[in-house]
Amino acid sequence: QEDIAYSLFGIFGVRLSVDYGEKQDKALGRLLEKIVALSGDITGLDWVRRSSEFNSCLPASITSYEAPPCKLPPLPEDEIQSSVSSLQKMVAVDFTLNLYTQLRNVSAPRFATQRLHLPCIVFNVREVRRVSSLEGYYTYGLKADGLHNLLINTNQVLVQFWPARPTEQKFVLVRPWDRSLLELPEFVEPTEFVEPSDFGNDTESEEDYGMPPSSPSDDRSSGSPVIQDVFDLESRALRLLVRLRQPFSAAA
């Protein structure tokens, strides 16, 4: 069975040793480990069914990459622009730039001794109630900070709890951080880097973002590369907020 994984080594341009007799999940795990290490791409973590003994974040079989039960359509560009315009009136620029910069400085996903180091956005679960069960699978209704109420299907029995019936166990939902949401250009000019500052500090000046104090002569359409770079950064930061507010698919 490991031959299936070995056949993918060449397709992905990965050079790894062939060890006949190892299980398919280990061969596939070594391939995915290498792909993540070389590219930082986390699309290989989007799978369903049984997890691997190599690493529980990886699938046991290549067949786990079946079509997802729900595929969300991409957000139309005109809707993104409309949301950006609305956010410009609601969100402080310094907060937006700080959030963007901190997420840009998050370390890339990597493996070390078969352990995956994966930056994630964490949502604390406040309520778990079983809704139904069918053929060994259970459906639970969850309430979590920062998310709409949702339903999950799992073959595991979860502890049920809610505010009137608390539990000492802690549950969280994690969303792997996808660096592509930053929409980084292929080449980044040095003038575009912004130093992160304290979210609690609301006294940041424009100098902190690489631009001079505003004056009547300032013009966003001017030819100044520094000013243009900063406004490009501001636009990407607002687009990031728009994308983070959108529904996202998940598998358990």
Task: State the average pLDDT for the chain.
Answer: 78
Rounded CA gap, 107 and 121, in Å?
Answer: 13
Please write the tens of the pLDDT for every residue from 67-91.
666 677 888 899 999 999 998 888 8
Enumerate residues 6+ apart whose C-beta is below 8 A from 111: 33, 36, 37, 55, 117
Give the pLDDT confidence score for residue 130 in this predicted structure.
92
1 falls in which pLDDT band (50, 70, 90)? low
Kindly compute the dihedral angle of the four CA atoms of residues 20, 23, 27, 30, in this order, to the nearest 10 degrees.
Answer: -120
* Residue 141 vs residue 71, higher pLDDT: 141
Residues 222-248 pLDDT 10s: 445 544 455 588 899 999 999 888 877
Q: What digits encode the pLDDT tens for the residues 30-44?
A: 888 888 888 888 888
| pLDDT value, residue 197 | 40
pLDDT at position 144 over 80? yes
* 216 pLDDT tier (thresholds 50, 70, 90): very low
How high is the pLDDT of residue 69? 62
Q: Is the pLDDT of residue 10 over 60?
A: yes
Q: What percent of the chain has pLDDT over 70?
A: 78
More confident residue, 226 or 133: 133
**pLDDT category, 99, cuts 50, 70, 90?**
very high
Q: What pLDDT band is residue 146 in, cutting at 50, 70 and 90?
A: confident
pLDDT higher than 50, residue 100: yes
pLDDT surpassing 90 at residue 22: no
Tokens of 27: 């061969």
